[in-house]
Structure 1
Amino acid sequence: MSGELLVSRPFVDTRAVSHDLPPRSQESIIKENMFPSSGLATVGYRTAKYTPDEWGAKNNSTFAQATGDRDNAERIRYESKSLHKETETRTLRSQAEGTRYLGERLQEINFWQSELHRHIEELTREIEMLLGQKRRLEKALEATEIPYAIATDNLTCRERRLGPDLVKDEVEEQLLREVELIRSVQALLKKTLNQTVNQIRADREVKQTLEQDWCDKSQAYSMDVQCGRYSNQSMDIQNHPSSLQLQEHVSMRDSWVRFSEENVSLARREEQASVELRRLVEGMLGDVAEDLRAQCAAVEQAFTLRCQQLGEARARLEQHLAQILEETGAQERSIRMLRQALHDKEAPMRVAESRLYTRAQRPNVELCRDAPQMRLVGEVGEIFSSMQALQDQLSAARGSLRELEDTRMALEKDLSCKKHSLMIDEQKCMSLRTRYPTVLALSGY
């Protein structure tokens, strides 16, 4: 047996490591192991033994360690329970706040969706009404072609008037005014039609923008509704660590609100522009129809007055022609009478001249200038004077007859012109003007 003294084993407490306790210092460990073993009791033994003091100290140390560990465990357990309640409360409050924010966001999105939907419906109605106005403008523009054709045809027909009737009268002036009015009306209708087409295009573009915005908000609303339905018991929830990172193109709430307000404001401007344009088109179509019908009435009144004047002129010409024809007949009878009178004077002239010639053959003193001789000479002179007067009167009658014939021909020609002009104005022009469009047709209905 060895005579060496055996020292006690160093005491190493492994519970500090197992229970995550702070390690004790080396000095405390040495103090716990400073009690030497009894030399006589350990003589002849290989193992070291503790003294009662060591045993008591060891128990006290164990008891103290257990007490400290128990207190530390109770403290940690209390802190864990408090932390659990605190985190649970904070998590529930944060989740409830997030749900509340989602609800407020849904209300805001729903408000803007309602605004967008209302303006989309309003723009749809405006587009439909503008399309109706566009069709009215097209029909009104098409309807003006008939008055234009009528007016130009009237002017062309009246160019075929003859002689002095080819005059620039009130009818022609009114027809020229009508042509200019129709041209200006057509230009105005075309300009208004282009404005209407542009406004319809603008309304459709704004409507498309609003519909796109409404679709985006509807999709966002559905997503937020889905997010609001998520709960801790939901089966379709999972971790998305990358969702904490904000995208670069994300918008801010102020810019989101400003974008929606700008869209609604743009829709309101286009709606107001559409309403004003519809009012303009409505009033313009009414004014155009009234102006065209008023000018048509003025032209027809001028035609009526002109036809009345032509009728009166024709009646007077017919009256003068009848008088001329009657006078021509009387003058022809007068000429025949004068010629007969001249013929009747030839026999008395031959008688008187034969008597003078025979008496000029009297012999010697019997050839005297007696009363019969003087009477015969006077008779011959009287008959010659009568015949000369009748001849002059016959020449005057024949001249008057020629003048009457010329006047008759002039009256007949003028009467023919009046009848021709009256036929053009009454049968050609005024009958064609019965096809003039009504106020409703000119208004685009």
Structure 2
Amino acid sequence: MAQTDVLLTKEPAPQTVPPCELSPKVYDVACNTGAYTSSGLATTGFRTAKYLMDEWYQNLYAHYHQAFADRDHSERQRHESQHLASETEALAQRTQQDSTRRVGERLQDMHSWKSELQREVEELIADTDGLLAQKLRLERALDASAVPYSIAMDSLQCRERRQHPDLVRDHVEVELLKEAELIRNIQQLLKRTIMQAVNQIRLNRQHKETCEMDWSDKVESYNIDDTCARYNNQSTQVQFHPHSTKLEESASTPETWARFTQDNLLRAERELLASANLRTLIDAILRDTSEDLQLQCDAVNLAFSRRCEELEDALHKLRCHLHKILREITDQEHQVAVLKQAIKDKEAPLRVAQTRLYQRSFRPNVELCRDTAQFRCPESLISLSH
């Protein structure tokens, strides 16, 4: 090629048509191909087997222009490939940086949700512990209500043994029946509240487990994404994974992913609110039942006090009347003795009167007269007999 360039510079080339503008016949001759080739035996009566100088120059220029065109095409391809390599490298760097940034944003989102879930789990644990304490208070209150109930029932049974004149349905019995009915209602209320507390504790633990599972998944995902965010082009752990770009059919979208955690948090918040309301209700129930029992106990004690006062007053009056009656009986006994003595003292006059009547019955004839003395003696007998 260098000798050809020197030759071209020493001897100017004839004015010929460029290869791209040659006729087919001349081009075939220059390329020594086609129907117009001059190789082989000389044509019959037309020309010899040697090339002409023009043909030699045409062939030379054809090779030169072909080499120039190939070199130019190669340079363009080289520049384009270099430019493409630079663009792809910059695009890969930008894509990798954007992917790293998005992984970092994902880590922030997971850390935020993870913190919220951890806070909800801690609140559920604390609230469940509070409910367990309230449930223990309810159970102790239920056990303690058995004592006043047994006292009220024993009091009613003891009062059934009163004698018939005193076996009355008084105010004390009414208050004792009220107290027994109140205690039974309170016991039923406490049992229902204990069941509500048990169910709420079960729901709290279920949602706690759900939040813990979600939190555990996010911790694992956070560790994976944190490891992925630390990878770079110089990392030794990276390798080819041909099927890593395949998406799983069960994979969630960012919207469903966020909605899943939001639903868990909302359910946990609802259970926390229900638990707080239940604890407030338990406090109110314990306070109100204690006040009701205390008021009913005071009413029963007041009824017993008034009934005891009535009985003491009646007993005092009966004792007074008993003393009077006993004194009257003594006086009557003395009077009976006096009357007996008086009767005994009347025996002599009675004998006298009866003897007079008997003797006067022996009067003869007309002398047997019903005179004043005769009538006076029977009167004296009657008075003495009375």
Aligned to 2:288: 287
Aligned partners of 1:29 and 1:242: how far apart in 2?
55
Aligned partners of 2:354 and 2:237: how far apart in 1?
159
Aligned partners of 1:206 and 1:26: how far apart in 2?
93
Aligned pairs for 1:40-51 (under 5 A) are: none
Aligned pairs for 1:138-217 (under 5 A) are: 138-217=139-218
Aligned to 2:84: 83
Q: Deviations over 1:135-164 (max 9, x none)?
A: 111111111111111111111000000121
- For the aligned residues, what is the CA RMSD? 3.1
**Equivalent of 2:381, from 361, 381, 384?**
384
Aligned partners of 1:292 and 1:131: how far apart in 2?
24
Greater CA drift, 350-359 or 252-261: 350-359
Aligned to 2:259: 258
1:32 to partner: Cα distance: 3.9
Distance 1:26 1:247, change over 3 A: farther
Aligned partners of 1:299 and 1:311: how far apart in 2?
18
| CA contact 1:106–1:221 (8 Å) conserved in 2 | yes
| CA contact 2:354–2:381 (8 Å) conserved in 1 | no
Q: Deviations over 1:228-275 (max 9, x none)?
A: 111001110001110111111111111111111111111111111111
Q: How many residues align?
A: 352
Aligned to 1:13: none
| CA contact 2:30–2:59 (8 Å) conserved in 1 | no
The answer to whether the aligner puts 1:278 opposite 2:279 as a matched pair is yes
| CA contact 2:30–2:62 (8 Å) conserved in 1 | no
Aligned partners of 2:121 and 2:306: how far apart in 1?
58
Aligned to 1:429: none
1:54 to partner: Cα distance: 7.6
Supply the AA of the counterpart residue of 2:385: Q
Aligned partners of 1:36 and 1:204: how far apart in 2?
100
Distance 1:27 1:345, change over 3 A: farther
Supply the AA of the counterpart residue of 1:349: L
1:363 to partner: Cα distance: 9.7
Aligned pairs for 1:6-25 (under 5 A) are: none
Aligned to 2:30: 31
The percent identity for this pair of structures is 46
Q: Deviations over 1:335-377 (max 9, x none)?
A: 0000100111111332454466667779999x798xxx96697
Greater CA drift, 254-263 or 161-170: 254-263
Aligned partners of 2:59 and 2:288: how far apart in 1?
120
Supply the AA of the counterpart residue of 1:388: S
Distance 1:26 1:127, change over 3 A: farther
| CA contact 2:361–2:368 (8 Å) conserved in 1 | no
The answer to whether the aligner puts 1:109 opposite 2:110 as a matched pair is yes
Q: Deviations over 1:8-46 (max 9, x none)?
A: xxxxxxxxxxxxxxxxx9985741446779x9xxxxxxx
- Consecutive unaligned residues of structure 2, counting only runs of 5 or more, are 1-23, 43-48
State the secondary structure of the residue aligned to 2:244: helix
Aligned partners of 2:346 and 2:186: how far apart in 1?
82
- Consecutive unaligned residues of structure 1, counting only runs of 5 or more, are 1-24, 40-47, 390-445
Aligned to 1:121: 122
State the secondary structure of the residue aligned to 2:165: helix
Aligned to 2:222: 221
Distance 1:270 1:363, change over 3 A: closer
Aligned partners of 1:328 and 1:26: how far apart in 2?
180
1:75 to partner: Cα distance: 2.5
User: TM-score if structure 2 supplies the norm length?
Assistant: 0.82
| CA contact 2:172–2:303 (8 Å) conserved in 1 | yes
State the secondary structure of the residue aligned to 1:246: coil
1:296 to partner: Cα distance: 1.0
Aligned partners of 1:153 and 1:29: how far apart in 2?
137
| CA contact 1:352–1:376 (8 Å) conserved in 2 | no
| CA contact 2:30–2:56 (8 Å) conserved in 1 | no
Distance 1:207 1:28, change over 3 A: farther
Supply the AA of the counterpart residue of 1:116: L
State the secondary structure of the residue aligned to 2:168: coil
Aligned partners of 2:84 and 2:310: how far apart in 1?
116
RCO (CA 8 Å, sep 6+): is it higher in 1 or 2? 1
